[in-house]
Amino acid sequence: MHKRSTFWARTCFASMVLMLFSLFAFSQGKTISGKVTDANDHTAIPGVSIQVKGTSVGTITKADGSFSIQAPENATLIFSFVGYLPQEVAAATTPMNVKLAASVKSLQDVVVVGYGTQKRNEITTSVATVKAENFNQGGSRSPMDLIQGKVAGLSVTRTQGNNPNSGASIQIRGISSVSGDMSPLIVIDGIPGGNLDLLQQDDIATFDVLKDGSAAAIYGTRGNNGVILITTKKGKAGDPQYTYSTYVQREAIAKRPSILGAADYIKVAGANNNQGADVDMYDLLLNKDNLSQYHNFAASGGTANSNYRASLYYNDANGIALQNGRTQYGGRVNVNQTGLQGMLTMQFNLAGNFNKANLNGGNSGGGDNKAGNAGADFEQAVQRNPTAPIIGADGKYIETNGFNNYNPLARLQQELYDRDQKTYSGDARITLEPIRDLKFSAFGAIVRDEYTDRQYKKKDSRSSLLNYQGGGYAYKANSAALDKTFEATVDYTKTVNSDHTFNVLGGYSYQYSTLEKYAMDNNGFLTDAFEDWNIGAGNALNDPKLPRPTQSSNKIDNTLIAFFGRINYNYKQKYMLQAILRHEGSSRFGANNKWGNFPAVSAGWVISKEAFMQDITVINNLKLRAGYGVTGNQGIPSYQSLLTLGTGGAYLQYGKWIQTYGPNKNPNPDLRWEKKKEFNAGIDFSLLQNRIGGSVDIYSRRTKDLLFNYTAQLPSNILDNIFTNVGEISNNGVEVVINTVPVKTKDFTWNSDLTFNSQRNKMVSFSNQIYKATEQFYGDLPSPGNLGSAIRVVEGGPLGTFFGYRYAGLTDDGKWQFYKKDGSIGGTSDMNPNDKAVIGNGIPKYMASWNNTFRYKNFDLSLFFRGKFGFDILNLQDMYFGNKKWSPNNMLSSAIGKNAKLNDDPQFSDYYLEKGDFVKLDNITLGYNFQLKTKYVRNLRVYASGRNIATITKYSGLDPELQDTALDSGIDGRGFYPRTRSYTIGLNLGF
């Protein structure tokens, strides 16, 4: 305490003395004035720091970029600002026009690391940053599309093609959990668990991806799968600006299943199945004239102390399938203000998204339609008898009689399924900086995501006639999720002796989430006119002969509390050290284990700053870093540790029917976090005047206390499984990023960026002393036939292994032959589960992407390739539909082509495993920047973009890019959603 007061006194006194001197110095100089602008777009740059070299005399530019400073003659002025290369310019008496050039991949770049930022050159952990100018061009259905393939180790997969109502599965560095959350934590502007629907591609400024444990540990229990920090564009000081972006997009078929036409079908199914017509139902389900459009209008402005950004958008997205669209609009407002003599800063954000989605078509889950797997509209179109007409002579839709058949075109006309969704978020942050470099900050956020679903099936629809005695069916459901966050932090930076810099951060975080749902349905309507808007009118409420109407409601909640701290130290920005500790508790865990500790430590060494490296001019930057961190996973359902009672069905109790109750789980009061320990080492380098740069990371991670449903001892437990912590998974891999500028001339630049990663995972152990499992099965194959599970994981083995019979050829009459365990050959009825063997693996071992950008004068062209290698795909489509036995349903042409000799029922074996390796030309964009000499337009760019243009692969199915982020990777299900190319034309206008 004592020391501080004298320190303050000394500082104050010293600064006063200095100021007096400087005044004295000033009185002997000249007034230099001028303006600082951006060398690229000529905008004024406010806030640029200008210093008279060798003195402490300085000033900053005003909002219009102008400055005025007293300097002696022959003085040199140093101009510096974040994001620009510093310049030293001799002072001149005439007004100076200084143009600052943006630094390319500047080491002074700021990286968002969670609860703060760090300069790129001080990072000791594995963090990747993607800025707006490097985003994938073209229309994106979800924000994650923007960075697909840009970050080594980050896999973004769209399993439903370009369906506007489907999401992307995201994974960093492979599978590290079996039943917890498997996707990274998304933090939007500091709100953990933010909702991606609230982000529009033109409002996003950067993605920062925290890949390893030592970076993600600051997020503790949710950091196991990495953290993606998304920062939206904010207001900044400067002239008022407007930006308008727009594009139109069309989807065109790239690949669709090849099915038999009428003539071939009759040859296989027989003439008695010939109903005379020749219909391609698959084609009829496509909306070939689809068009999507997007508009985003933003305004920003303000001063250095008070600025804002507001944007509005509208998007009408339509997919390639009928009734598969999504219309959304919304906006975002950001206000920043600094006041109270620069001590109090406030930032305030408000965002909203309103969207209406048509879930009826496109395998989106409408009605009987389950996305991805058996029974959906496109599968019906593939298997429908091509000789069956669509509409009969009486004007009614024709239903074919096969197993599980229905007429998909009829269903689309007879049913509806809409979702009306509203998402809002509001957050505010207040930071008090009473003393320089000491900040107190309080942050609060609320996010609410609410949707209402409605379904109606007309009285004459097949579903209503079959299940509801022709009385129609109406359904409504509502879901409301609310997340409240409060965080308080203290941040202090201190530099000692101008060489040692410390930064200390301490904080508290509280997050409460709740999810409420309710639903109701009814049937027995007199008329279709109400649809679902008069649900009480259904007679099933009164008539016991009609199927019972149902009602349900449900609520769950959970709380997350944490105390965290971080210390950063660097010596001359050459040696860096970081330590993190987060002490976090979650309500989801057992009474004995609600809290856990998540520490991390990492260090860095900028070798290129050492004296012995100064002569090696080839190397501009070389940094070595290593880190170790522990993170957790709390992504399991709530209430797992409690002994709860569930319903068992009603039973007669003295003449009345009463619900029965019994324990519905084996409780586990010892339930605790999954913990992942990760070691990461990396090198960042930059050579040849920044013409070649990149990084290499090696990581090794182990997740212990894996949460999983284990087979419990039965007896003496009540149920056969218990959710408990046993088992370990390990992942190892290498990530490489290389950015090069092969050609750079006055008019022509060629940038080439390559990312590559390899991953190996292993199920180290499934057991401990109490619980043992030696194998687990995944990937259950659908009906008909119930052929079992496709994937088996054993202790000590890799994840994603296909386990099945080995194909040994066909008999002369086309029956299956498989190898038995002892090597002999047997038919289907000779086989038992012991004859199965490891036949392949569905998780890619390597992923790579290669992006080339060419700039010639005002034109730019980018080509982006992506690929995954080293995996197999189980072609379920071929297994069921490429088989003559699927008759009297229609089949794929492989039934009379590749599989023509087969004359046996579908069986799972390595006959249907194909290599899935592929390379895709995923994005070609050609753009032109107009250089208009008018002050009305700041910039104008027009572009044309194509996505998913070409795929090079040996795989015979629709798309080798399948979901590969879960335990049943590599199974190409029966969804048959077509693969499309997207063509986009757009423009960005700034004025």
Partner 1 sequence: MKKSNAYISAALLALGLSACTKLDEKPYSEIISDQFYNNKQEVLSAVLRPFTHAGAWAAPTGQTGYWRLQELSADQLAWPQKGKHGYDGGNWIRLHNHTWIANEDNAWNPWRLMYWGLGFCNNTIKDLTPLDFGKIGMTEAEKTTLLAETRVVRAWHYLKLMDLYGNIPIETEVSSDASPATKSRKEVFEFIEKEIKENVDQLQPLSGELVGRATKAAAYSMLVELYLNAEEWTGTARWDDCITYCNKIINGEGGSLSGAVPALEPNILNAFANNHNISPEDLFQLTYDLRAGNSRFGWQGDFWHYRQRQIDDADVDGNNGIVVIPSAYDAFKDNDLRKTTWMLIGPQKKAMALRQNIGDSLVLGTEEYNNKPLVFVKEIRRNSEGETGAGGMTRGEENSGARFAKYRQGSQADPNYWGNDFVLYRLTEIYFNKAEALMRKNGKIATQDAVDLINACRIRAFKAEDWPAEAYTTTSLTMDELLAERGREFIFEGKRRSDLIRFGKFTTDSWWDHQASADKYKLFPIPFKQTSINPNLVQNPGY
Q: Give the residue with the Cβ less far from partner 1, 290 or 907.
A: 907
List, in order, residues 6 or more apart from 153 with CB less than 8 Å away.
172, 173, 211, 697, 733, 735, 757, 759
Site for partner 1 in 685-724 (CB under 8 A): 711-720, 722
479 binds partner 1 (CB under 8 A): no
484 binds partner 1 (CB under 8 A): no
Q: Which of 715, 702, 710, 701 is nearest to 671 (CA)?
A: 710
Q: Give the residue with the Cβ less far from partner 1, 492 or 563.
A: 563
Site string for partner 1, 894-933 (x = CB under 8 A): -----------xxx--------------------------
539 binds partner 1 (CB under 8 A): no
Distance CA 584, CA 560 (A): 7
Site for partner 1 in 796-855 (CB under 8 A): 828-829, 831-834
395 binds partner 1 (CB under 8 A): no
4 binds partner 1 (CB under 8 A): no
Decide: 947 and 982 in contact? Cβ < 8 Å: yes
15: part of which helix (H) or strand (E)? helix 2-26
The residue written with tokens 């951060």 in the block is 505
Pick one of 661, 748, 856, 930: the residue that binds partner 1 (CB under 8 A): 661
Decide: 872 and 369 in contact? Cβ < 8 Å: no
Pick one of 344, 477, 561, 987: the residue that binds partner 1 (CB under 8 A): 561
Decide: 307 and 277 in contact? Cβ < 8 Å: no
Pick one of 510, 530, 807, 846: the residue that binds partner 1 (CB under 8 A): 510
Piece of the chain touching partner 1 by CB under 8 A; list 189-197, 376-384, 408-416, 559-567: 559-567
Site for partner 1 in 741-770 (CB under 8 A): 770
Site for partner 1 in 772-791 (CB under 8 A): 772-774, 784-788
Sign of torsion over alpha carbons 104, 107, 112, 113: positive
614 binds partner 1 (CB under 8 A): no
List, in order, residues 6 or more apart from 783 with CB less than 8 Å away.
374
620: part of which helix (H) or strand (E)? strand 619-633
| Shortest CB 637 distance to partner 1, Å | 11
858 binds partner 1 (CB under 8 A): no
| Shortest CB 802 distance to partner 1, Å | 16
The helix/strand/coil state of 541 is helix
Return the bridge partners of 920, or none.
Answer: 866, 951
Piece of the chain touching partner 1 by CB under 8 A; list 144-152, 163-171, 542-550, 973-981: 542-550
276 binds partner 1 (CB under 8 A): no
440 binds partner 1 (CB under 8 A): no
329 binds partner 1 (CB under 8 A): no
| Shortest CB 830 distance to partner 1, Å | 9
| Shortest CB 761 distance to partner 1, Å | 24
The helix/strand/coil state of 99 is strand
Site for partner 1 in 287-316 (CB under 8 A): none
Pairing relationship of beta strands 185-188 and 227-232 according to DSSP bridges: parallel
Distance CA 168, CA 156 (A): 6
The verdict on whether omega for the bond into residue 715 sits within 30 degrees of 0, i.e. cis, is yes
Site string for partner 1, 663-682 (x = CB under 8 A): xx-x-x--------------
559 binds partner 1 (CB under 8 A): yes
Q: Give the residue with the Cβ less far from partner 1, 167 or 826.
A: 826
Return the bridge partners of 220, or none.
Answer: none
Piece of the chain touching partner 1 by CB under 8 A; list 113-121, 160-168, 323-331, 557-565: 557-565
Decide: 979 and 959 in contact? Cβ < 8 Å: yes
Decide: 153 and 735 in contact? Cβ < 8 Å: yes
| Shortest CB 817 distance to partner 1, Å | 15
Q: Which of 915, 880, 873 is nearest to 781 (CA)?
A: 880
Pairing relationship of beta strands 575-586 and 127-131 according to DSSP bridges: unpaired
791: part of which helix (H) or strand (E)? strand 789-794
Pick one of 657, 746, 934, 936: the residue that binds partner 1 (CB under 8 A): 657
Q: Give the residue with the Cβ less far from partner 1, 512 or 983.
A: 512
Piece of the chain touching partner 1 by CB under 8 A; list 43-51, 68-76, 253-261, 580-588: 580-588
551 binds partner 1 (CB under 8 A): no
Decide: 129 and 846 in contact? Cβ < 8 Å: no
Pick one of 82, 642, 825, 900: the residue that binds partner 1 (CB under 8 A): 642
| Shortest CB 827 distance to partner 1, Å | 9
Pick one of 329, 502, 563, 750: the residue that binds partner 1 (CB under 8 A): 563
Pick one of 558, 749, 752, 893: the residue that binds partner 1 (CB under 8 A): 558
444 binds partner 1 (CB under 8 A): no
Q: Which of 873, 884, 932 is nearest to 906 (CA)?
A: 884
Cα separations (Å) of 815 from 486, 811, 903? 65, 5, 6
Neighbours of 563 (CB within 10 A): 15
Distance CA 154, CA 148 (A): 8
Applying CB under 8 A, what is the total number of residues that bind partner 1?
91
Pick one of 440, 530, 595, 869: the residue that binds partner 1 (CB under 8 A): 595
The phi and psi torsions of 319 (rounded to 5 degrees) equal: -90, -175
24 binds partner 1 (CB under 8 A): no
Q: Which of 507, 502, 480 is nearest to 492 (CA)?
A: 502
Site for partner 1 in 405-434 (CB under 8 A): 405
Q: Which of 700, 690, 576, 545 is nearest to 629 (CA)?
A: 700
Task: Give the start-end residues of each E strand in 811-912.
Answer: 816-819, 825-826, 837-841, 846-856, 859-869, 872-875
658 binds partner 1 (CB under 8 A): yes
Piece of the chain touching partner 1 by CB under 8 A; list 147-155, 161-169, 635-643, 952-960: 635-643
Piece of the chain touching partner 1 by CB under 8 A; list 42-50, 419-427, 555-563, 622-630: 555-563
255 binds partner 1 (CB under 8 A): no
Site string for partner 1, 82-111 (x = CB under 8 A): ------------------------------
Piece of the chain touching partner 1 by CB under 8 A; list 233-241, 344-352, 587-595, 691-699: 587-595
Pick one of 102, 556, 688, 937: the residue that binds partner 1 (CB under 8 A): 556
646 binds partner 1 (CB under 8 A): yes
Distance CA 343, CA 439 (A): 9
The verdict on whether omega for the bond into residue 978 sits within 30 degrees of 0, i.e. cis, is no
Distance CA 214, CA 1 (A): 34
Q: What is the dihedral of CA 53, 57, 61, 66, to 10 degrees?
A: -80
886 binds partner 1 (CB under 8 A): yes
Over its C-alpha atoms, the chain yields an Rg (Å, rounded) of 32
| Shortest CB 885 distance to partner 1, Å | 5
Piece of the chain touching partner 1 by CB under 8 A; list 164-172, 181-189, 338-346, 881-889: 881-889
Decide: 759 and 728 in contact? Cβ < 8 Å: no
The residue written with tokens 């930032």 in the block is 347
Site for partner 1 in 148-187 (CB under 8 A): none
Q: Give the residue with the Cβ less far from partner 1, 390 or 619.
A: 390
List, in order, residues 6 or more apart from 379 with CB less than 8 Å away.
974, 975, 976
